[in-house]
Structure 1
């Protein structure tokens, strides 16, 4: 008989043209191991087609919803998906340099693209922009469930768009940096404390 896994589930959603093999995922995994944080890290491969990506983002949440704690970290386009999932299921999410309105931004990427990690080529279409538009939840039903981490030096996204869209949510705004989010590993303990506040008093996390 397999023992029941009661650890909180942490789901990381990667960005556009990224993958579960990204450097940020490696930093997250290494930090969790170094601090001996008792969480189950799940990093789904989202692919590029938005509807399928959202399904893959929802599946690990649905599998544990109501059974054990669950939280999200989403980077760039993954931050948009995390927003949708959070609004749909009522789970907390940390958004790292999130794409506030990807259906506007990604129009500049219509046509053939290449995944920076896997080398896979794919084609971005107007139909994909419509899928992203259709899944937009609008105003989050509970903005306090979102933590928005922004760096003003983001060379890909205008941080002010996310600042305005998520103005009702707690923010962590840093001067400088870049789209990748410099010193991401240093933010992880604070992100975990946001996702699971009981950890602040030595509850589910120690160290």
Structure 2
């Protein structure tokens, strides 16, 4: 049973082979505890398969039904958060989001060991198809999405996100990297946008 006093929830979705211990999640958790204790922060350890990742997200939305739920997603978490915006009309922040993870992760085909779950699994055609099934072609509520990009992202081409999210609010910085250096500068503004 959830706490009946919880009315606002921020769901944080980490990237591929990452964890709730990521720096951005820690920074947001600490900021909310200090400045917005009324916002309940959730950052689950996502399972290895995209289908299961989505089931985890759905279960959280079910658990906190009736609450105001917003989402921040980084990299693969940004890809998932785009689908959340579509399915639940939630406000989302995307940080260097993966636009075509089905293409990106074909490079990693074969056996994988998740560095945090220590679980062995395969990236194969089924895995890729699970990603394809979660893809959003046309964004129906662009006003609910704010995209943070840094041009020196060494993993993803930021121009793909510029194109996909052209109708959304976008902040694109020169320099930086895939982790989005200096994320803490935006914490207050992010919460203002989401709520």
TM class by smaller structure? over 0.9
Q: CA RMSD of the aligned region, Å?
A: 1.7
Residue 3 (structure 1) shift: 6.3
| Equivalences, count | 194
**1:102–1:132 CA contact under 8 A, matched in 2:** yes
Q: Distance in 2 between matches of 1:29 and 1:3?
A: 18
Residue 114 (structure 1) shift: 3.3
Matched, 1:25 2:57: no
- Structure 1 counterpart of 2:141: 142
Residue 119 (structure 1) shift: 4.1
Matched, 1:85 2:84: yes
Instruction: Map Cα deviations across residues 147-170 of structure 1 (whole Å, 9 max, x no partner).
Output: 111011100000110110010100
Instruction: Map Cα deviations across residues 152-198 of structure 1 (whole Å, 9 max, x no partner).
Output: 110000011011001010001111110011111221111111111xx
- Structure 2 counterpart of 1:43: 43
Instruction: Map Cα deviations across residues 69-115 of structure 1 (whole Å, 9 max, x no partner).
Output: 11000000000111111100111110000001111111111112333
Gap runs ≥5 in structure 2: none
Matched, 1:14 2:14: yes
Q: Distance in 1 between matches of 2:31 and 2:24?
A: 11
Runs of 4+ in 1 over 4 A off after TM superposition: none
Gap runs ≥5 in structure 1: 197-207
**2:151–2:175 CA contact under 8 A, matched in 1:** yes
Q: TM-score scaled by structure 2?
A: 0.92
**2:85–2:141 CA contact under 8 A, matched in 1:** no
- Structure 2 counterpart of 1:124: 123
The 5 Å alignment of 1:1-207 reads 4-65=4-65, 67-196=66-195
Q: Distance in 2 between matches of 1:169 and 1:62?
A: 27
SS of alignment partner, residue 161 of structure 2: helix
Instruction: Map Cα deviations across residues 129-158 of structure 1 (whole Å, 9 max, x no partner).
Output: 111112212111111111111011100000
Instruction: Map Cα deviations across residues 15-44 of structure 1 (whole Å, 9 max, x no partner).
Output: 100111222221221222232442100112
Change (3 A) 1:68 1:132: same
SS of alignment partner, residue 107 of structure 2: helix
More divergent stretch after superposition (92-101 vs 137-146): 137-146
SS of alignment partner, residue 149 of structure 2: strand
**1:17–1:116 CA contact under 8 A, matched in 2:** yes
More divergent stretch after superposition (182-191 vs 26-35): 26-35
